[in-house]
Amino acid sequence: MSNTNLSKFPVVVVIGGGFGGIEVVKQLADKPVEVVLIDKHNYHTFQPLLYQVATGSLEAESIAFSLRKNFSSQKNLRFRNTEVTHIDTATNTVDTTIGSIKYDYLVIATGSTTNFFGNKEIEHYAMPMKSIPEALNLRYLVLQNLEEAILKPSKEERASYLSFVLVGAGPTGVELAGALAELRNHVLNQDYPELTKEEMKVYLVDFLPKVLGPFSDEGSKAAQDFLTGMGVELLLNVKVESYDGNEIKFEGGKTIHTKNVIWSAGVMGVIPDGIAKEGIERGNRIRVDNICRMVGSNNIFAIGDVAAMITDETPKGHPGVAQVAIQMGQATGKNIIRLLREEQTVPFKYNDKGSLATIGRNKAVADLGKIKFQGFFAWLVWMFVHLISLMGGRNRVVVFINWVASYLTYNGGTRLIIRSFKREELVQKDEQVSKPD
């Protein structure tokens, strides 16, 4: 496919330009290796702010950054915008839609996708939010349904268009619920004077008894109080049974008529074809050893959401958060160099720097080790951490200006419907893909 196969240096192929993959590439800069970075997109997505793209507070370009531009000065890197179709572990080859690439070392950093737990009906009709295209689809669905609601003559007919059900009360669900509640409380009457905020309902659903399950009890309680104070209706200890595009049903008989169900109840790893099934753990993750190397292999690594490092300390593996991917990427890059130098590798040790979640204007929770706080100061910390973590100076400036405008006016963002979104088209596409040849 390219001259990388003829390199005089060992070739390290990295699949995925997310948080983990980028860190591996950085560690290999100026080292005697040739790096090939593969991604189906030519940009890195800052996933923690996807919910703001979905609600129209930020434009997609402000949380994406060109992978080529980011590594333009790294001379030992080649980027390929393609999709992986198969990994041949016997011949050390990655097959892609543009040809095959030979590797000496392979790093799988493919991340995760939405887990619908085998419920095909929910998968067809609910909206995921794990990528920029999915966030934009969600934005257009929300805005189109608000426009449709205006045309309905009665409250009963408007109800399903104005009911928003978020399934999964982790950070994504909580932050999106807070953003939708703020849209209702501060924007709805300005942009849609024919509607009243009392008609718009925001529900947050989870089968657990609390929101933000991984957080401390005090952080979870604060988040719950913030949400209820903003008018979000919490349905905890509740399990979803079905959703047909018009009505969501829960175990126990409760139903809600809605055309807006957003699913963030679980994730699963994205594993390329060719990885042995016996090495795959629960959650569709690849079992790795203490240096993130795939069990049974001596030159394939997996990091981040797609990796399961099962130990006595982490019997379920590490949490699927950005910091895990970043630290695994840094450690893996360094260990690959150690292996090339025939030096002793260093076992991976995760340093938990804490967790942050924002619920809206002046409202956030912070669990930073033994230090736990909530409210305005936690919100400032959340903004600072996310701002400095963004790739690209321009992106930081654009996001900061948008945040300031939203704070001062209560009505930031543009909320444009650039293209129409029809969920039925996605359903038909899914059905066509699932049909056997």
pLDDT above 80 for 101? yes
- For the chain, give the percent of residues with pLDDT over 70: 95
State residue 424's pLDDT score: 63
State residue 429's pLDDT score: 44
| Residue whose pair of structure tokens reads 């030159």 in the numeric block | 299
- Give the separation between CA 382 and CA 379, rounded to whole angstroms: 5
Q: Which of 131, 139, 118, 87 is nearest to 271 (CA)?
A: 87
- Active-site residues, by number, are 175
- Give the separation between CA 143 and CA 162, rounded to whole angstroms: 10
Of the candidate ranges 6-10, 126-130, 235-239, 390-394, the one whose mean pLDDT is the lowest? 6-10
pLDDT above 60 for 20? yes
Q: Average pLDDT, whole number, for the chain?
A: 93
What is the per-residue pLDDT across 289-346, written as a single tens digit (0 to 9) for each?
999 999 999 999 999 999 999 999 999 999 999 999 999 999 999 999 999 999 999 9
At residue 426 the predicted structure's pLDDT band, cuts being 50, 70 and 90, is low
Q: Average of pLDDT values for 110-137? A: 94
Q: Which of 267, 246, 264, 268 is nearest to 255 (CA)?
A: 246
Domains and CATH numbers, the chain: 3-40+82-114+268-340 (3.50.50.60), 120-265+354-431 (3.50.50.100)
What is the per-residue pLDDT across 170-225, written as a single tens digit (0 to 9) for each?
999 999 999 999 999 999 999 999 999 999 999 999 999 999 998 999 999 999 99
State residue 3's pLDDT score: 41
State residue 7's pLDDT score: 63
pLDDT above 70 for 5? no
